[in-house]
Amino acid sequence: MTHYHPSVEMLTDYAAGSLPLTHALCVSTHIEHCHECQQQLRKLEILGSHLFDDVPTEPRRLDDLKQNLLSKLRKSDRVSDNSHPKESTESKLDAFLEDYSVPKSLRQFVKKSYDQLSWTRLSPSFKIATLYNEEGGAQVALTRVKAGAHMPSHTHTGDEITLVLEGAFSDEAGIYRKGDFIQRGANHKHKPIVTKDAECICLTVLDAPIEFTGWFTRLLNPLIRRHHPFTRAEG
């Protein structure tokens, strides 16, 4: 049972299509398994369709556009005579072979399994794999922490979204389980601990690099920075 959801503002922007892609990746991954947000999204899309239906249109001759479209369709129908493209069975098979099922929205980055990603070990119990660094923007990564381990204490310099993919962790404010969506503002300092029963894999989006705050973990900051676009060497 999911207890932490994206805010209604974020869901609205998602339904409207204006949410940045990095954030949409997290929302979409959450929604895949959250019935409550699916319902809300459905209604937000109905709202969008009414606004769309009422949009004032301007008179304009569209004959050229129409003819162009129809000739395009005739050509494409001639090329591919099967009008109902077959579903690829490959992705289903991949999902079946692994221990964890990778959410559909992440398959673009996680082709087969989490194990095959290139993980960087930052401590004996903490690993990170960068999925995507947006140019001049956010970082999307997976973190993997062993059962019962402390995640390094850190402060964000920007917003952070965390989505629990597998396992669970807790901090001062509560316990977060599979599917939970947690958004934290800048300068939020916290000390998450993974629950004892299983390892924890999370999807995270950072608007700016995190800074580790302990004396030992301070050594990690250069490593993290190397994995973040803001500090990555040019070229």
Partner 1 sequence: MEPALQQQADEQRVLDIIAIAQHRDQEALVRLFDYYVPKIRAFCLAKQPGANLMADDIAQEVMIRVWNKAHTYQKESASLNTWIFTVARNARIDYLRKNSRHQSDIDPENLWQDVVDENADPFKDMQHHRDQKRIKEGLDKLPQEQKQVLSKVYLEGKTHQEASEELSLPLGTIKSRIRLALHKLTIYIKR
> Which of the ranges 77-85, 116-124, 172-180, 188-196 carries the binding residues for partner 1, by CB under 8 A?
77-85
Binding partner 1 (rule: CB under 8 A), the pick from 112, 113, 120, 137 is 137
Interface pick for partner 1 out of 73, 93, 186, 219 (rule CB under 8 A): 73
Count of residues interacting with partner 1 (CB under 8 A) = 58
Q: Which stretch binds partner 1 (CB under 8 A): 81-89, 122-130, 170-178, 195-203?
A: 81-89
Residue 55 interacts with which of partner 1, Zn ion, none, CB < 5 to 8 Å by class: partner 1
Smallest gap from residue 63 Cβ to partner 1 (A)? 11
Q: Does 33 bind partner 1 (CB under 8 A)?
A: no
Q: Is 60 in the site for partner 1 (CB under 8 A)?
A: yes
The verdict on 132 binding partner 1 (CB under 8 A) reads yes
Does 223 interact with partner 1 (rule: CB under 8 A)? no
Which of 22, 33, 29, 15 minimizes the C-alpha distance to 159?
22
Separation of alpha carbons 114 and 135, rounded Å: 24
CB contact set of 14 (below 8 Å; sequence gap of 6+): 6, 23, 24, 27, 28, 41
Residue numbers at the binding site for Zn ion (CB under 5 A): 5, 34, 36-37
- Contact partner, 24, from partner 1, Zn ion, none, Cβ < 5-8 Å per class: partner 1
> Could you tell which of partner 1, Zn ion, none binds residue 37, using a CB distance below 5 to 8 A set by kind?
Zn ion
Under the criterion CB under 8 A, does residue 77 sit at the interface with partner 1?
A: yes
Q: Does 56 bind partner 1 (CB under 8 A)?
A: yes
Shortest CB 147 distance to partner 1, Å: 30
Burial (Cβ within 10 Å: 0-12, 13-18, ≥19) of residue 74: exposed
Question: Which positions touch partner 1 (CB under 8 A)?
Answer: 5, 8-9, 12-19, 21-22, 24-25, 27-28, 40, 42-53, 55-58, 60, 62, 65-66, 68-70, 72-73, 76-77, 83-85, 104-105, 107-108, 132, 134-137, 140
